[in-house]
Every structure is written in structure tokens, then in C-alpha cells.
């Protein structure tokens, strides 16, 4: 499977986001080993230097750790993963609200629309 990338954001950041999303979805667990730089490059169809930069960026934020001679692993620190989850949620909300405001919606319209959407999705069983 060849990954597709968007020109709006550097590839290494898009790879990092994909890894973080896999962690959030439970596809990668604390302590799981990531593919080698070479393997990830082949899987993603990107230069290994790009993968190396991705891993360095994730390591700088403590989401992964590299163990010399063993590879790169998802952190087992649940606090770091919880903080990553919260930060990603805030980033997604920011983008959503920004897009809605650009379309001309007021905050109360955005809130009402989101509540109605969530109510429909849960069949009225959400936390109102």
C-alpha cells in the first residue's frame, strides 16, 4: 500500500501524525516497536531520511523512544500519551471551528449544529 501525502504539510509531519493516530486508535500500543527506518520508508514510499526525521520529531516529544541496537518504540508513559491525545483533540477542534467561522457561522450556530449532529449519531443517548 502506497501512502498519499498532501503538499500543504511536510511529509515527515504527516508521517508523525499518522503514527500518532495509530496510537490513538489502538493500532499501536505502549511499548510496541515501530518498523525500522528502512521498512517504514518502503511501506510509505518515502526516503529513509524522511522517516528518520519523523522518528526524531516523535522522540523529541517523548511519544517514541529509540533504544540503541533494538529500534524505536512507542512510549509506555501513559501521561505523555494522554497529553498527546488531548493536544490532538484540541488541534482538530481548532481546525473545525476555524473552517466553520470561515464559512460565516457564529459560535452558537456551530455549537448547536455539533450538538444536533452528536445527538443524531448517538440516537439521543449522548451526554446533554
Average pLDDT over residues 102-128: 86
The confidence score (pLDDT) of residue 123 equals 75
Question: Is pLDDT at 49 greater than 60 in this prediction?
Answer: yes
52 CB-near residues (< 8 Å, 6+ apart): 37
Across the chain, what does the average pLDDT equal? 92
Question: Is pLDDT at 15 greater than 50 in this prediction?
Answer: yes
The Cβ of residue 94 has, within 10 Å, a number of other Cβ atoms equal to 10
Where does the pLDDT of residue 1 fall: very low under 50, low under 70, confident under 90, or very high at 90 and above?
very low
The confidence score (pLDDT) of residue 127 equals 55
* Cα 49 to Cα 46, 57, 69, 74, distances in angstroms: 8, 12, 18, 20
The confidence score (pLDDT) of residue 84 equals 96
Calpha distance 6→98 (Å, rounded) = 20
Amino acid at each position: 500500500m502506497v501512502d498519499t501525502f498532501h503538499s500543504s504539510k511536510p511529509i515527515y509531519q504527516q508521517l508523525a501524525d499518522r503514527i500518532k493516530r495509530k496510537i490513538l486508535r489502538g493500532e499501536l500500543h505502549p511499548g510496541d516497536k515501530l518498523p525500522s527506518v528502512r521498512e517504514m520508508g518502503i511501506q510509505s514510499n518515502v526516503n529513509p531520511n524522511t522517516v528518520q526525521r519523523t522518528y526524531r520529531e516523535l522522540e523529541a516529544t517523548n511519544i517514541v523512544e529509540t533504544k540503541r541496537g533494538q529500534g524505536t518504540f512507542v512510549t509506555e508513559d501513559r501521561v505523555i500519551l494522554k497529553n498527546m491525545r488531548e493536544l490532538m483533540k484540541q488541534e482538530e477542534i481548532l481546525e473545525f471551528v476555524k473552517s466553520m467561522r470561515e464559512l460565516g457561522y457564529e459560535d452558537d450556530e456551530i455549537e448547536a449544529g455539533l450538538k444536533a449532529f452528536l445527538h443524531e449519531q448517538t440516537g439521543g443517548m449522548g451526554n446533554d
